[in-house]
Chains A and B, each alone.
Chain A
Amino acid sequence: MTLQVSNLSFSYGPKQALKDVNLSVEQGQFAALLGPNGAGKSTFFALLTRLLTAKSGEITVAGYDLSASPQAALAQMGIVFQKPTLDLDLSVRQNLSYFAALHGLSGKLANRRIDAALDRLNMVERSGEKVRALNGGHRRRTELARALIHNPSVLLLDEPTVGLDAESRKDITDHVHSLACSGMTVLWATHLTDEIQMTDQLVLLHQGQILQDGMAKDLCDGLDLQTWFLAKTKAPA
């Protein structure tokens, strides 16, 4: 398993945000973490990226235990956060160079990786532009390009299409699906069912608990995904 989460629980004071979460995602699998607002998706991502740490449960990324070997585990992750994390006053390339340096890449190697990442996202011609001048879709593509510079094993995306128009959403969703096809492990948090394909692993998170985990086509059992999602999350967990 490239990404393995076992018995993970987390509370904000008396309020339990996640309860006994278990999850496994195999290499090359696109796993959609589907849940309504407030389900605990962002808390789960904060724990996966070690912005928060839980006292109970284990997270393993590409074989590295996140609590025992945090740096090795983080080096295996590419992350696209829900909130934009680009420096608006720097150019696209400067933003990517900064990230590359945080991962120990510099000089020609960093430039090669940045060029490849920009090329993959069709952002080469924008590399000299300041991020402030980019539209929302291009900013998101820049963040996705950035997350791929260090060739991560696991790509984590927390509602990456929030605020984007339909075309940009489709571009990004399709691109990340193609990354999974080429062997990258993807965990994609969303509350939008049209971003999920029937061949994806579908993990339904509701009120801090995983209600369902399986292949989307098996779970829906012929039902429209949106209808299935609403039916599952209407009743209390």
Chain B
Amino acid sequence: MVSSQDQGPSMTGFSHYRTAFWAIATREVLRFVHQRERFIAALVRPLVWLLVFAAGFRAALGLSITPPYQTYITYETYIVPGLCGMILLFNGMQSSLSLVYDREMGSMRLLLTAPLPRWFLLFSKLCGATFIGILQCYAFLGIAAVFGITLPPLGYVAVFPALLLAGLMLGALGLALSSFIKQLENFAGVMNFVIFPMFFLSSALYPLWKMAESSELLHDICAANPFTYAVELIRFALYQQMNLAAFAWTSLAMICFLALAMWGYDPSRSKSS
């Protein structure tokens, strides 16, 4: 018998990892390109919130000056980072849905039997999905600018790493969920129990201090929600500021969700004895 330790890049080679990473990520993008409806739906959803919901709410909700803003802002401006977060959240869940679909249809087997560590294969898939989410965010920011909701020019550049981290965190959540959801039919539950609570119990639509005025409990829940920190990370980055607490919490949540996903996809966790 051959005795070998073949877990690391030393045996299979760095170029193998690079080639596989590129192929997996490109395939995710290609799949997205083939689904034009998904791209349109991904843009229509936040645009409806921005152009309809926010317009209606503008009169009802007064916003005082809080960091990172240095002046009074319109409600539309306030919810732009939250809607970027919403795009990434939906994108993460969409990629989770496609993972469950892949597993039911069998195509996930091809990926999981590739001669590379499973964590690397799943991480490559996660990166591809995150890249798609970032593309959608930039398309959304572009359309928002056309409608007059603009941000500091350098903010569009500075927000990239924030979108990347937030996208990876939410994608990792989707990955973790997909390892526990066994059937496509169960996915509706994700909408009710993950997406909506995460989005509404966050600072995406209203600042936390505003939430505290109505309920301390709700405020505390919002403050514990990792999505809140993803949104705040994006919000500060758009104004070229670093929110260290948001960065730390988003990173921590990403690591936890990734660890959960890797545990969920561990073949030895199957119901065996």
Q: Which residues of A contact B (CB under 8 A)?
A: 10-13, 49-55, 60, 62-65, 68-72, 74-75, 77, 79, 81-87, 89-90, 94, 97-99, 101-106
Q: Contact string, B111-137, partner A, CB cutoff 8 A, digits 1/0?
A: 111111100000000000000000000
Instruction: Find out whether the CB atom of A53 lies under 8 angstroms from the CB atom of B268.
Output: yes
Taking the closest CB of chain B, its distance from the CB of A18, in whole angstroms, is 10
Give the complex CA separation of A162 and B54 in angstroms: 55
Among A51, A64, A71, A101, chain B packs the most CB atoms within 10 A around the CB of: A71
Give the complex CA separation of A84 and B110 in angstroms: 10
Taking the closest CB of chain B, its distance from the CB of A218, in whole angstroms, is 29
Taking the closest CB of chain A, its distance from the CB of B250, in whole angstroms, is 30
Instruction: Find out whether the CB atom of A104 lies under 8 angstroms from the CB atom of B34.
Output: no
Instruction: Find out whether the CB atom of B113 lies under 8 angstroms from the CB atom of A87.
Output: no
| 27 interchain pairs, CB-CB under 8 A | A11-B272, A12-B271, A49-B109, A50-B112, A50-B113, A51-B109, A51-B112, A51-B267, A53-B270, A62-B2, A64-B1, A69-B4, A70-B115, A71-B12, A72-B2, A72-B4, A72-B6, A74-B113, A85-B109, A86-B107, A101-B24, A102-B20, A102-B24, A103-B114, A104-B15, A104-B19, A106-B19
Q: Contact string, B2-39, partner A, CB cutoff 8 A, digits 1/0?
A: 11111100011101100110111001001100100000
Q: From known contacts A53-B267, A71-B115, infer whether A101 and B272 are also in contact, taking CB-CB under 8 Å.
A: no
Closest to B8 in A: A71
Q: Which residues of B contact A (CB under 8 A)?
A: 1-7, 11-13, 15-16, 19-20, 22-24, 27, 30-31, 34, 105-107, 109-117, 267-268, 270-273
Instruction: Find out whether the CB atom of A60 lies under 8 angstroms from the CB atom of B273.
Output: no
Closest to B22 in A: A101
Closest 10 CB pairs of A and B: A83-B106, A104-B16, A101-B23, A75-B115, A102-B114, A63-B2, A74-B115, A72-B6, A71-B115, A11-B273
Instruction: Find out whether the CB atom of B31 lies under 8 angstroms from the CB atom of A89.
Output: yes
Taking the closest CB of chain A, its distance from the CB of B262, in whole angstroms, is 15
Other-chain residue from B5, B20, B105, B273 in contact with A104 (beta carbon distance below 8 A): B20
Chain A interface, >50% SS class: loop
Q: Give chain B residues whose Cβ lies under 8 Å from the Cβ of A71.
A: 6-7, 11-12, 115-117
Give the complex CA separation of A97 and B109 in angstroms: 17
Q: Give chain A residues whose Cβ lies under 8 Å from the Cβ of B6.
A: 64, 69-72
Other-chain residue from A63, A74, A84, A97 in contact with B114 (beta carbon distance below 8 A): A74
Q: From known contacts A13-B271, A84-B106, A90-B30, infer whether A105 and B19 are also in contact, taking CB-CB under 8 Å.
A: yes
Instruction: Find out whether the CB atom of B106 lies under 8 angstroms from the CB atom of A81.
Output: yes
Closest to B1 in A: A63
Give the complex CA separation of A104 and B14 in angstroms: 9
Q: Give chain A residues whose Cβ lies under 8 Å from the Cβ of B3.
A: 68-69
Give the complex CA separation of A68 and B4 in angstroms: 8
Give the complex CA separation of A11 and B271 in angstroms: 7
Besides A52-B270, A104-B16, 11 more A-B contacts (Cβ < 8 Å) are A51-B109, A51-B267, A55-B268, A68-B3, A71-B115, A81-B110, A84-B105, A84-B107, A85-B106, A102-B111, A106-B15
